[in-house]
Amino acid sequence: MNLDTLTQTSGEWLRGTGPESDIVISSRIRLARNVAAFPFTNRASAYQKAEIESLLRDRVARLELDPRLEYINVPNLSPLDRQFLVERQLISRELAAADGPRGVALGPRETVSLMINEEDHLRLQVMRSGFALDEAWQDIDRVDDLLEARLSYAFSEEFGYLTACPTNVGTGMRASVMLHLPALVWAKQIEKVFRALQKINLAVRGLYGEGSRASGDFYQISNQVTLGKSETQILNEIREVIPQIITYERQARNAMLKESRQAIQDRVSRAYGTLCSATMMTSEETMDLLSSVRLGVNMGLLDDVTIGTVNELFIHTQPAHLQKLMGSLLDGEERNAARARYLRTRLREAGAHPN
């Protein structure tokens, strides 16, 4: 797979074409699986990791999927390309930084990603744009069944699927929905939402999962419990709460329009103006300003740019993407200058050629 071609798109998680995509960015389901008769990755020797990687690469290659997956040997990638795949949410930071034989099999539409020799021997991931948990589950369940027909998974009748981390034992499933919640943040209601989610054992994380901050007002909401519940129960719990959060966010947006339209208009316009004129721009500042612009477009306060362009800019201005687009490695200050130039150019083109 030529990773350079991926710089021309925004990736599945920011396509903005799925249900409720003004608020729900993407739905993702991940399954953790291990091969029986092999120690977990953190206990495996280099030789055993090589055996696991070879076995799983062979089984993945035989999967009868259309379109077929392409395999990437992660140790052969440059640090920039590894970070590029992390930014696209196609591999985890753990897989990028791990040692030894490992890889990832990707679908050309970037909806399917199978990571080999991460924390577990195999991490299956399916992503869909918008609020589409059911479709994501159907996809990943099919891939899992195809693999299980070719592999002996580590499984216990008492505990379910066995995983390196005890918190994943059972279904081995993490279902998550990524939401853009700027109005709840501005209205200072977001902490109340978090507390309610914690009471029902749902976790809230940032843009890149565990340990990451909520950059650009993006939040991932996912299950914490995998043991003692079926996949259907886990999905139902998340499926029930997400519409309530969508309603709260829409109510907050409507209240803002009614009570402080001029202040919101000013904030959106200032964000857009800064993006169009700044000569230096950090990743964090870009994400925060684009978040305001995205909200403004969805609220009808800004018509100079489309949601598609804004979504694309979220990922194209990330450090690895930016350097690949520029065609060279850049230090921090050079990236900030290049990011500002790129934003000015893209937004000028978007304003000159509105859809």
3-state secondary structure the chain: CCHHHHHHCCCHHHCCCCCCCCCEEEEEEEEEECECCCCCHHHCCHHHHHHHHHHHHHHHHCCCCCCCCEEEEHHHCCHHHHHHHHHCCCCCHHHHHCCCCCEEEECCCCCEEEEECCCCCEEEEEEEECCCHHHHHHHHHHHHHHHHCCCCECEECCCEECCCCHHHCECCEEEEEEEECHHHHHCCCHHHHHHHHHHCCEEEEECCECCCCCHHHEEEEEECCCCCCCHHHHHHHHHHHHHHHHHHHHHHHHHHHHHHHHHHHHHHHHHHHHHHHCCCCCHHHHHHHHHHHHHHHHCCCCCCCCHHHHHHHHHHCCHHHHHHHHCCCCCHHHHHHHHHHHHHHHHHHHHHCCC
Query: pTM for the whole thing?
Result: 0.91
Distance, CA of 192 to CA of 198 (rounded, Å): 10
- Distances from the Cα of 114 to the Cα of 72, 131, 245, angstroms: 10, 22, 30
Distance, CA of 194 to CA of 35 (rounded, Å): 36
The pLDDT value recorded for residue 353 is 47
**Furthest-apart CA pair in the chain: how many Å?**
64
CA 271 to chain CA centroid, Å, is 24
The pLDDT value recorded for residue 236 is 94
The pLDDT value recorded for residue 355 is 42
Buried b (16+ CB within 10 A) or exposed e, 124-146: bbbbbbbbbbebbbebbeebbeb
Distance, CA of 289 to CA of 272 (rounded, Å): 7
- Distances from the Cα of 279 to the Cα of 267, 335, 340, 344, angstroms: 20, 11, 5, 9
Can you name the residues that pair with 73 across neighbouring β-strands?
A: 103
Contact 62, 214 (CB under 8 A): no
Residue with tokens 């200058």: 337
- pLDDT beneath 70: ranges in the chain: 1, 207-214, 352-355
- Report the residue count for the chain: 355
Rounded (5°) CA angle 83-169-92: 5
**CB-hemisphere CA count at 13 Å for 66?**
0
The pLDDT value recorded for residue 308 is 86
Number of Cβ atoms within 10 Å of the Cβ of 95:
22
The phi and psi torsions of 97 (rounded to 5 degrees) equal: -95, -5
